[in-house]
């Protein structure tokens, strides 16, 4: 299994990470400026769509509480994401090794993803209570499936001739897994983790809707019931920023550990 000698930049002529960050920052500034101008020019009611300046003012005045909310949700999401990655990778490996296990369980994994998260979340809270555990379990539930499927897909991309070659050199099942199958599957796994980080955030926030004293879910729910539109948008923006930061962290990890296939 060969690999290029160096990663390919994501933006021609510009270092990948720096180039993407610059493009995304420019796009963000343009969108916020357009939002501000449009709201003021069209005289949109702040009760329907406040200008970004009002949202940022609300974020600044409540920065301590909002920072705590971000930290709480991030902690719950990361716990669920870590468990989801472990469970997903182990499931994918197991399915690749035992076809009967795949035929028995994978359809039920697929069916579980069709269950509305609100319904499943209610059951999880009944089982685990209103603490961190229930939020982490919901985040795990949402994030493990893409990791499991992509791990299985990645392992099955391995050329059987390469497996046979390793066996002729005396490699056992575990050695083939660690030295050939998992490295081949890593790009697919990281692609799934990029998706899973957003799903883990959603899971943590939905879990907070069922009962919590702190977190972005609490911020969003409280703002909605209080009709505090600026606070609601502040929660939405912070959720997006946190999810984007997690996504970017995964991209950086992929560039470090799977540099020959780092396409983000």
* Helix spans in the chain (H): 16-41, 52-61, 63-97, 99-114, 117-128, 132-156, 160-168, 173-176, 182-209, 216-226, 229-257
pLDDT beyond 80 at 167: yes
Q: Report pLDDT digits (tens) over 125-146.
A: 889 988 999 999 999 999 999 9
pLDDT beyond 80 at 101: yes
Tell me the C-alpha to C-alpha distance, in Å, between residue 140 and each of 106, 160, 178: 17, 32, 24
pTM of the model: 0.84
Q: Report pLDDT digits (tens) over 6-51.
A: 444 444 444 566 677 788 889 989 999 999 999 999 988 888 899 9
Q: Which CATH architecture has domain 63-261?
A: Orthogonal Bundle (1.10)
The average pLDDT across 85-91 equals: 96
pLDDT number for residue 17: 60
Q: Report pLDDT digits (tens) over 207-220.
A: 999 888 899 999 99
pLDDT beyond 50 at 2: no
CA 144 from centre of chain: 10
């Amino acid at each position: 299994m060969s690999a290029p000698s160096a990663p390919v930049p994501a933006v021609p002529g510009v270092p990948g990470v720096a180039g993407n960050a610059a493009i995304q920052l420019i796009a963000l500034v343009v969108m916020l400026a357009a939002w501000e101008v449009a709201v003021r020019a069209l005289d949109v009611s702040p009760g329907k769509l406040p200008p970004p300046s009002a949202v940022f003012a609300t974020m600044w005045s409540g920065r301590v509480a909002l920072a705590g909310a971000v930290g709480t949700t991030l902690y719950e999401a990361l716990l669920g994401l870590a468990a989801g990655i472990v469970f997903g990778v182990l499931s994918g490996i197991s399915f690749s090794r035992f076809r009967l296990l795949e035929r028995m369980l994978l359809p039920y994994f697929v069916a579980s993803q069709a269950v509305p998260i609100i319904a499943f979340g209610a059951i999880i809270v009944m089982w685990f209570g209103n603490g961190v555990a229930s939020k982490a379990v919901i985040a795990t539930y949402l994030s493990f499936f893409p990791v499991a499927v992509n791990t299985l897909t990645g392992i099955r991309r391995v050329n059987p001739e390469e497996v046979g070659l390793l066996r002729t050199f005396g490699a056992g099942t575990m050695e083939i897994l660690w030295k050939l199958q998992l490295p081949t599957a890593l790009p697919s796994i990281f692609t799934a983790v990029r998706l899973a980080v957003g799903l883990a955030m959603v899971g943590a926030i939905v879990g907070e809707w069922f009962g919590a004293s702190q977190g972005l879910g609490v911020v969003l729910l409280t703002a909605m019931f209080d009709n505090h539109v600026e606070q609601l948008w502040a929660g939405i923006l912070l959720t997006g920023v946190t999810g984007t930061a997690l996504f970017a962290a995964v991209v950086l990890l992929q560039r470090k550990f799977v540099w020959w296939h780092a396409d983000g």
